Structure 1
Amino acid sequence: MKRKFGRIFMIVTDSLGIGDDGRQAEFGDQGADTLFHVSESGLLEIPTWKKLGIGEVTKVHNYNKKNKDHLAYMGRIIEKSNAKDTLAGHWEMMGIETKIPNPQFVENGFPAELIEKLEKAFDGRKIIGNREASGTVILAELGDQEIKNGDVIVYTSPDSTLQICGHEQHMGLENLYRYSKAAREICSSRPEWNVARIIARPYVGENGKFTRTFNRHDYANKPPKATILNQLQAKGVKTIGVGKINDIFVGQGIDQVYPPASDNENMDVAIELASKNSTNEFIFVNLVEFDSHYGHRRNLEGYANNLNSFDIKLTKLINALKEDDLLIMTSDHGNDPSFPGSHHTREALPLTVFSKSFTGKNKNLGVLNGLGTTGNIVARNFDLELIDTGDDIFDKLI
């Protein structure tokens, strides 16, 4: 089969939900609508995404104009997985449905037996923290104690994680990563402890003034089966992971890695790659700051400004795309900055599909079943087996 697109760029705007997906009541998230509530701040300026058609699949405050000539195919995805986290969302895109969510420890922290095993693995260091917390808050509270006493801050976030803080000079990155790998082994040894991700959280600074760095590393569960990424490799298609992608898939199916950085920097990588005269590539990009810096921290203004910056970078990326390139954009879950608490929110997710070669008139895709709809676009283009975690819309992309 002749490939329709030489390269496919897939960008995940991490946590950018678009409202009710019909299952919000199950997750206690009725009323969450990330993009709309961010737009209500009055700060949102996303002219490029509006031209592509974002207003066709969700409400945007003070933007009621229907655009019959929008440039991209637009859909509203309902996630299949019984979860609302990063791992489940990305895995579903590539063919794995999460039917039983990984355990969370938000209410009571980690059990004493697990903490005891972790302390032994952490060279006998005492674990402090052990509760659900904002990473910046717990660092401000306990960072000095960790440095002074040689303790280890361990905490969890509102999804299935065990997070470990370590000062880059006092603890050292090598020790932090060693402890995190040990924690992954320990947590994976028992189903009731098997969190989706162990996160190494390095930081710098002194005297209560600390800054987290981009030397963060996630130790996720390994995908339980082969994904679209593995199929691509087997076909000789180069797979490139930008940002957290390599961590999310534990290196499975990834040929080239650009490590986590800011959303602007990750978009710059995508723009640089688009500017090259390459082909036969799948470029998979995660933009984590929407989630980590603005969603979890309930920062509406920051979320809006990050979206504005993204829209500027999106314009540059589109300009750099070749005629036979395809751009797919979606999200992995919601995280409404206006919603109570600091948890992810269960929401419908936007799908934007754009190519300069499109000539079709009706670009409304309607409601789509499963994030694997994105993976099936990739599969059809590169003549791979379809996955069952999404719809097949490839023939509509004309």
Structure 2
Amino acid sequence: MTTANNNNDGTFRRIVLIVLDSVGVGAMPDAEEYDGHRYSNTLGNTAKAVGGLELPHLEALGLGNLTEVKGVSPRRPAKGLFGKAALAAPNKDTTSGHWEMMGCVLKRKLPVYPRGFPEDLLEKFIKETGVPGVLGNLSISGTEVIKLFGDEHIKTGKPIVYTSADSVFQIAAHEEAFGLKRLYDVCEKARSLLRGEHEVGRVIARPFLGENGHFTRTANRRDYSLLPPSRTVLDELQKAGIPSLAVGKICDIFAGRGIKDYVKTRNNADGIRKTLLGIDSHPEGLIFTNLVDFDMLYGHRNNPQGYAGALEEFDNALPRIQEVLGEDDLLLLCSDHGNDPTTPGTDHSREYCLILGWSPRWREGKDVGLRRSLADIGATVSENFGLPILAGESFLRG
């Protein structure tokens, strides 16, 4: 095993990278071309909607320098590194954003289905999986679709198939009436089927429980991602023998490639807890965490109050992470797209992504400006560990 860097050249022995899923900081110039809103600003609009946010620890790192956030003041000098990154890939979803973050920048748009999936594709799906048919076939919110079709699904045994503005083929089924293992099996077959022109970014298992129109999605979601079409920073770390730990849905997003050690999480609190455990168990290399509640529970459900609460909960937890990091550690926070809970619709928004960084080694932070690509995160990780830079430009040294 190669030992991660531990010298006095500005590099770090360990990087902890935490993705605040969907915490965008303002619409990109082309947002309207992606069925988005030119005024989307997940962080800024959430703050306005709730009368202001209290995020003192993120404020100290420079969060208020990225966009106007009611309740969060700009800080210059800040205690941390701060900047924001454009999405270079022509998408606005989790898969594309995380891949870009790790040096795999897609050149094409992933297929989307605003009017539902074509009938011939669904016929193949029914034949391959052996289900008696499908319900739904709409671009719709996941909570709304189980409300509409949950009872019929239980009666007929037909899974609920739906999508969103993103490149996803989602299958909802009742954990008890349909069976959780059966749902996973059906999703695996769907992933194998969805190739070529219908090669969506993710197939997602969406299990739920309940009865008589009162249904709740469970934490047993599972994502079946495409394999990244080119090498990623995770592949390069693995090749070099540098340890890494994936926390949350990171392993699913990369279809397990380049990942040996991983843990799944149930929510943000569990993700933070398992990140802290990872810091204890992995003294070097990369710890790569996704915190999904912002997006899954609040952005998609147009709930700015819940979104604000999740941001404040993370801010409260941030000192617990900082206090267990040492001089040879770098903490990086970023996002992967936006999901403004205050705008019409329930889908992702094409926004600039936040970048914040902190190390006990730094006496003051620095402004890394507007980055041309989220790939600059991966380039920074790569430079730190002496790996080839696959895409982007590192901001490790300024």
TM range (shorter): over 0.9
Establish whether residue 44 from structure 1 lines up as the match of residue 53 from structure 2: yes
Letter matched to residue 300 of structure 1: P
* Cα gap change, 1:230 to 1:209, in 2 (>3 Å): same
Structure 1: runs of 5 or more not aligned? none
Deviations 1:360-383 (A, max 9, x none): x46111111111111111101111
* Cα gap change, 1:292 to 1:7, in 2 (>3 Å): same
Q: Distance in 2 between matches of 1:62 and 1:278?
A: 36
Deviations 1:185-213 (A, max 9, x none): 1112x31x111100011112222222211
Q: Distance in 1 between matches of 2:188 and 2:128?
A: 10
Deviations 1:214-236 (A, max 9, x none): 21111111111221001101111
Residue aligning to 2:70: 61
Structure 2: runs of 5 or more not aligned? none
Q: Distance in 1 between matches of 2:19 and 2:80?
A: 16
Cα root mean square deviation, aligned: 1.5
* Cα gap change, 1:177 to 1:2, in 2 (>3 Å): closer
Deviations 1:112-140 (A, max 9, x none): 10110111122142101110111111112
Q: Percent identity?
A: 39
Residue aligning to 1:100: 108
Letter matched to residue 168 of structure 1: E
Letter matched to residue 293 of structure 2: E
Residue aligning to 1:77: 85
Deviates more, 1:337-346 or 1:110-119: 337-346
Letter matched to residue 394 of structure 1: L
SS of residue paired to 1:169? helix
Contact 1:24 / 1:346 at 8 angstroms: preserved in 2?
yes
Deviations 1:167-190 (A, max 9, x none): 2122112211111011111112x3
Establish whether residue 367 from structure 1 lines up as the match of residue 370 from structure 2: yes
From 155, 158, 164, the equivalent of 1:157 is: 164
Residue aligning to 1:239: 244
Deviation at 1:338, TM superposition (A): 1.1
Structure 1 length as normaliser, TM-score? 0.94
SS of residue paired to 1:313? helix
SS of residue paired to 1:394? coil
* Cα gap change, 1:8 to 1:2, in 2 (>3 Å): closer
Letter matched to residue 69 of structure 2: V
Establish whether residue 182 from structure 1 lines up as the match of residue 189 from structure 2: yes
Residue aligning to 1:280: 284
Residue aligning to 1:253: 258
Contact 1:43 / 1:305 at 8 angstroms: preserved in 2?
no
Matches within 5 A, 1:326-365: 326-359=330-363, 361=364, 363-365=366-368
Residue aligning to 1:196: 201
Deviation at 1:43, TM superposition (A): 4.9
Deviation at 1:69, TM superposition (A): 3.1
Matches within 5 A, 1:191-230: 191=197, 193-230=198-235
Deviation at 1:95, TM superposition (A): 0.9
Deviation at 1:358, TM superposition (A): 1.2
Deviation at 1:272, TM superposition (A): 2.3
Residue aligning to 2:270: 265
Q: Distance in 2 between matches of 1:214 and 1:138?
A: 17
Structure 2 length as normaliser, TM-score? 0.94
Q: Distance in 1 between matches of 2:66 and 2:397?
A: 20
Letter matched to residue 369 of structure 2: G
Contact 2:146 / 2:215 at 8 angstroms: preserved in 1?
yes
Contact 2:28 / 2:352 at 8 angstroms: preserved in 1?
yes
* Cα gap change, 1:22 to 1:176, in 2 (>3 Å): same
SS of residue paired to 2:380? helix
Aligned residue pair count = 389
Q: Distance in 2 between matches of 1:289 and 1:216?
A: 13
Q: Distance in 2 between matches of 1:268 and 1:2?
A: 26
